[in-house]
Chain A
Amino acid sequence: MATTTSGAGAGSRAGKRSGKKGTLYRGREGMWSWVAHRITGVLIFFFLFAHVLDASLLRVSQSDYNSVIDTYKNPITNFLEYGLTAAIVFHAFNGLRIIAVDFWAKGARNQKKLLWWVVGVWVVLMAGMFYPILAHSLHRIFGY
């Protein structure tokens, strides 16, 4: 290619340098849904871990169990509960999507459409559960 290059003294410039690390891979829907699936999966696992511990208290002492559960009764834990529900709902429905990709002959071809279904169902369910789950906290914070 005989095109002229920009600037004079071509070859004399070693190029500008920067210490930038490599770029993040720009994966699409499939990659990000996998990232979300793994994060929510690990999150649910840690919740389950704590849950097994607090539930096992029931067999040790009912009053201790009650006092531990009482510490959960605050708006912050309530919002965390809502977040946990969000994680579980996403993980469950995206899990069904992955099963469809693996076992349904047309699953792989329709994976993006399936993901939008997952997100749609997730939004509807989370909107529907907003008040039922957070009612106590909303009352306490806004005092109505």
Chain B
Amino acid sequence: MPAATSDPEFMTITVQVKRYDPDTETHRWDEWQVQALPTWRILDALHEIKWEQDGTLTFRRSCAHGVCGSDAMRINGRNRLACKSLVKDLNPAKPITVEPIQGLPVIKDLVVDMDPFLQAYRDVKPFLIAHGNEPTKERLQSQKDRDRFDDTTKCILCAACTTSCPVFWTDGQYFGPAAIVNAHRFIFDSRDDAAEERLEILNEREGVWRCRTTFNCTEACPRGIQITQAIAEVKRALITRRV
């Protein structure tokens, strides 16, 4: 890459990160100036800080291309993937703020403990449950039946939705949008036989009825899943007892 000064496209952006130091158990905001291109992602700016300015800055990322779901963060006040947020879309004239996603215990800086989130996911049995004999051929499904749950197959378990939910912030026991999305994926799958079981789980106190339809999850999902709609479909299935 060319040196910053030789490319007129480079500009100075300010990145403010809300950090957490587990040794002293204290939060603080740090601020860095970064020479960045408008087409850089926030993840590039974080790399720049970590590799060139402060190696102690800690965050998760893996694929860097919106596939693995490792780098959900609250950027300029909204949950997004750092690897899918461009500098030019975020008003680079102002400091860009980066915080850990809210509602899960912070381990260090931008890294949170995903265990409670993944436990809620496990609790809805996110795998095919089929009774009866194993088919000798593939389990056939019509296009229409497949389309029924297409939207909710796209989840990458980034937790952007669950940690954007005001209900989850105040009640960490709430299953949260991501678990409901992944339950939906199987509840409405014609090959699956355990819809009833999953619906019962989501009928509990901390299930779908906690949802207050704030649409924060739908706005935050980097996969564009219509989450609030999926939750409403589960609510309706619980009332009508039909999937």
The answer to whether B212 has its CB under 8 Å from any CB of chain A is yes
B219 near A28 (CB under 8 angstroms)?
Answer: yes
A16 near B228 (CB under 8 angstroms)?
Answer: no
B166 near A11 (CB under 8 angstroms)?
Answer: no
Given contacts A2-B1, A22-B99, A108-B232, contact A30 B213 (CB under 8 A): yes
Give the number of A-B contacts (CB < 8 Å).
130
The answer to whether A10 has its CB under 8 Å from any CB of chain B is yes
The answer to whether A143 has its CB under 8 Å from any CB of chain B is no
What's the least CB distance linking A24 to chain B, in Å?
Answer: 6
Number of interface residues of A (CB under 8 A): 36
A34 near B47 (CB under 8 angstroms)?
Answer: no
B229 near A1 (CB under 8 angstroms)?
Answer: no
B35 near A27 (CB under 8 angstroms)?
Answer: no
Interface membership of chain B positions 29-40, coded 1 if the CB is closer than 8 angstroms to chain A and 0 otherwise = 111111100000
The answer to whether A139 has its CB under 8 Å from any CB of chain B is no
The answer to whether B84 has its CB under 8 Å from any CB of chain A is no
Interface positions of B (Cβ within 8 A of A): 1-5, 10, 12, 16, 18, 28-35, 44, 47-48, 51-55, 74, 76-78, 97, 99, 102, 164, 166, 212-216, 218-219, 226, 228-229, 232, 235-236
Pairs A–B under 8 Å by Cβ, sample size 8: A11-B54, A15-B31, A27-B215, A28-B216, A30-B215, A98-B213, A102-B232, A108-B218
